[in-house]
Amino acid sequence: MKENGYYVLSKREGIEEPYHWVLKAANNEVILTSENYTSKHGALNGIESVRKNCEEDENYQRLEAKDGSPYFNLRAKNHEVIGKSEMYSSKQARDNGIESVKKHGITLVLVDETSSSDKGSATSAAATVTVKPERSSAKRYA
């Protein structure tokens, strides 16, 4: 089911913007991380924006941290950052990370950990669902 990558949606209690997602490659490595969202709906819209924007190379900002570590941001058409990468050891490794997001970002597989009551346990229950993109009048990233 997860051979093409998957999203993990989680919620941290006690903070103003508790929802957060990561995109993982088939090998379970995190390849893209979201900002925090105030609502689950907002986080799901962020995931949908990755799906819509991840395949186009011009949506990637190739950047360098102050210490020289390469990383990237994925941006929507309106130039808003949708997700950020980890810091990489080389530009080639960063470019491989971008290619991985292009490949895996379109996945419809979502592991929803937001309904799990025991966040501290690796064995806590999580729902894995295949999500069809919703088409509504709700505000979305471009």
**pLDDT, tens digit (0-9, with 9 covering 90-100), for 50-97:** 999 999 999 999 999 999 999 999 999 999 999 999 999 999 999 999
Region 29-48 average pLDDT: 96
Residue 117 has pLDDT above 50, yes or no: no
Both structure tokens of 142: 């471009």
pLDDT-derived band at 121 (thresholds 50, 70, 90) equals very low
Q: According to the model, what pLDDT value does residue 4 have?
A: 82
3-state secondary structure of 93: helix
8 A C-beta contact, residue 51 and residue 74: no
Place of tokens 């229950």: 125
Place of tokens 């011009």: 58
For residue 110, which phi and psi values (nearest 5 degrees)? -130, 125
Both structure tokens of 38: 């105030």
Both structure tokens of 120: 């501290």
Percent of the residues in the chain that have a pLDDT greater than 70, as a whole number? 79
Residue 134 has pLDDT above 50, yes or no: no
More confident residue, 142 or 86: 86
Average predicted confidence (pLDDT) for the chain:
85
Percent of the residues in the chain that have a pLDDT greater than 90, as a whole number? 74
Q: According to the model, what pLDDT value does residue 115 have?
A: 78
19-24 and 30-33: which strand pairing?
A: antiparallel
Residue 135 has pLDDT above 80, yes or no: no
Q: According to the model, what pLDDT value does residue 15 have?
A: 87
Write down the pTM of the prediction. Answer: 0.81
DSSP code of residue 13: T
Q: What is the largest CA-CA distance in the chain?
A: 43
How many residues would you count in the chain? Answer: 142
